[in-house]
Structure 1
Amino acid sequence: MNWTGPGLWTDTVFDYLNETYHVQWPTLTKLDHTRLIGDVYILPITGFQPSAFDMGARGPNHPEARIAHFFHG
């Protein structure tokens, strides 16, 4: 069981968005811009990890770059 970590966080936030706003998973995949749904601000890969070029990020100087996330694991 996943008790902690990013997987549990993602599942919990998605469950909230789905139950409250009827958001489906495809709505949140492969975003190329930030998105506000209710009180949740969804970042594209560039916003959350701008240097993940192998995942389609556009670099730390791109206007969508908001934070640098250094999670490993």
Structure 2
Amino acid sequence: MTAGRLGVSETPVQDGLSLTYVGHSPVRQMMLHQSHVFIDRGAFLGRADSCLLMVCHQEIMDALRQHSLVGYTA
């Protein structure tokens, strides 16, 4: 099970771009923005509000369907 809730920006999908998982930019919660799922929760910081985020692709796809973003396929 994926840890964390998927946030969705005002522009979650960029036409012509495949869904991509990215890191190296710590975020407070997992976020979908312009077809990029930002998953870096800053585990290296060692703070109480940082963590290592494990992602299950199928759960991300299910969350996209819940947000009516069904243009992606698994």
Question: Is the shorter-chain TM-score for this pair beyond 0.5, marking a shared fold?
Answer: no
TM-score w.r.t. length of structure 1: 0.24
| Bigger Rg, structure 1 or 2 | 1
* Greater strand content: 2
* Greater helix content: 1
